[in-house]
Amino acid sequence: DNVHDKSRGSLIVLEGLDRSGKTSQSNRLVSYLKEKGVLVESWRFPDRTTSTGQMISAYLANESQLDDRAIHLLFSANRWEKRSLMESKIMCGTTLIVDRYSYSGVAFSAAKGLDFQWCKAPEVGLIAPDLVIYFDISPEKAAERGGYGTERYEKLEFQKKVAEHYSTLRDASWKIVDACLPMDIVEEQVREFAMACILTCQKGKPLNKLWS
């Protein structure tokens, strides 16, 4: 009688400072889950392929200047324009592994001095992740990792402020991984957190909305 009752996928978000190793671990996790037969897709924000994403990309490359609030809202719009697609994929059983989400949106903009609650407001109502994995590394250690690139925000002093705002956003549900451990150990921990989450969602955990 439950032919329509297909189990849903999960929304798993990876967060952390620049150079925390999120992107490599996201790729490793997606390959692992595919091998395990999990229906999975690799996502990232900003999604630079859309028209808002191209504006964001130009801003990050210092090719354009934008008001701090305007760029904040563009990052948010870049998530909103993907919301319904994300929901349909998840409800059809696909797990999304997402490299950065609303937490980056708030932590990076608040680090510029924008009001924290103002930064959260446009994110309210987006799909809440079923799991947030935070790649914990000190800004100094991250900076030592071959140095930062040339994009906006990739500066030690700025990353220190971002780290502070991430700690304000963090709640008891976040899984914290020590990003300074060897890559294989980090990978193993990430796999365990992800698999446990995927099972819980398959068993019918409801999909929630952010910050409500």
| The binder of ligand NYM chosen from 20, 86, 96, 108 (CB under 6 A) | 108
Residue 148 touching ligand NYM (CB under 6 A)? no
147: buried, middle or exposed (CB in 10 Å: 19+, 13-18, 0-12)? exposed
Nearest to 39 by CA among 86, 94, 97, 90: 94
Residue 105 touching ligand NYM (CB under 6 A)? yes
List the x/- string, 155-194, binding to ligand NYM by CB under 6 A.
Answer: ----------------------------------------
Residue 104 touching ligand NYM (CB under 6 A)? yes
What is the side-by-side order of every strand in the sheet holding 131-136?
40-44, 95-99, 11-16, 131-136, 175-178
Give the contacts of 8 (CB within 8 A, at least 6 positions apart): 90, 91, 92, 93, 201, 202, 207
Options 96-104, 134-142, 171-179, 190-198: segment touching ligand NYM (CB under 6 A): 96-104
Residue 129 touching ligand NYM (CB under 6 A)? no
Q: Which two tokens stand for residue 14?
A: 């990876």
Task: List interacting residues with ligand NYM (CB under 6 A).
Answer: 18, 45-46, 60, 75, 99-100, 104-105, 108, 153
